[in-house]
Amino acid sequence: MIVPCIDLMGGKVVQLVQGREKALEGDAPLAMVERFKAFREIQVIDLDAAMGTGDNGAIVASIASRANCRVGGGVRTADRARLLIDRGAHRVIVGTAAFTPAIEEICAAIGPERIMIALDSRNGKIVVKGWQESTEFTAEDVISRLETYCGGFLCTYVDKEGMLQGTDLEWFRRLRAATDHEITAAGGISTLDEIRELTAMRIDVALGMAIYTGRLDLNVLAKISEP
């Protein structure tokens, strides 16, 4: 499955390079939803909430009322997870809180089947708090012990995020070998060959910059993503 991404900052759809520098703005949020209507699921990240600088809740709710969405950004408490479900999220993406006792409360509040845990890797280590802080462990270290708290993992190769330089397929192979849970790959994926290789591993693909820049054609991707 291919999952188009809508990242929100200051009420606008944006694409960042490695989570830091804004590279471009997309169309209005609901216009992007219309562009992505051929896909079974859309990934929505509230970057302001992730970085603790704001909240795009009304836009998230509007998007989630029109599409099947996994939603993330600042999900560090059970209350925040329930709020996103109430706003229409089909699933909630949990990053930082997955490495704190809060994950147990979140899991109890909405159920593991509605949780995706984000394993974001930069320089080989998991990064948290909007990719602003590095931890001492790797995704390979933690993925199996986090299975009980989620229905799947969103694994981002931050080193190449937004750079259109390709991703690390070997990293994803190691993650695939470490868990039978659903995995979605993100970060630098920019060619159909990469998508085919990841799909052959039983890994879904989240795409942002490659779509927004026109590197990959939405019509072609929609055909590949058909069940």
Per-residue model confidence as pLDDT tens digits over 82-128: 999 999 999 999 999 999 999 999 999 999 999 999 999 988 888 88
What is the C-alpha separation between 32 and 24, in angstroms, rounded? 14
Contact assessment for residue 23 and residue 15, using Cβ atoms and an 8 Å cutoff = yes
DSSP state of 162: T
What is the C-alpha separation between 63 and 70, in angstroms, rounded? 11
Contact assessment for residue 94 and residue 69, using Cβ atoms and an 8 Å cutoff = no
Give the rounded percent of residues in the chain with a pLDDT score beyond 70: 95
Average pLDDT, whole number, for the chain? Answer: 91
Query: Which candidate, 26, 9, 10, 12, places its Cα nearest to that of 207?
Result: 26
Would you say residue 162 has pLDDT above 60? no
pTM above 0.85, yes or no: yes
Contact assessment for residue 182 and residue 204, using Cβ atoms and an 8 Å cutoff = yes
Per-residue model confidence as pLDDT tens digits over 168-204: 999 999 999 999 999 999 998 999 999 999 999 999 9
- State yes or no: is 120 an active-site residue: yes
Instruction: Classify domain 2-225 at the CATH class level.
Output: alpha beta
Per-residue model confidence as pLDDT tens digits over 51-75: 888 999 999 999 999 999 999 999 9
- State yes or no: is 46 an active-site residue: no
For 137, residues 6+ apart whose C-beta sits below 8 A from its C-beta are: 125, 126
Choice among 7, 46, 48, 204 that is catalytic: 7
Contact assessment for residue 63 and residue 29, using Cβ atoms and an 8 Å cutoff = yes
For residue 20, which amino acid is it?
R
Choice among 46, 48, 120, 204 that is catalytic: 120
Per-residue b or e along 109-131, where b marks 16 or more CB atoms closer than 10 Å to that residue's CB: bbebebbbbbbbbbeeebbbebb
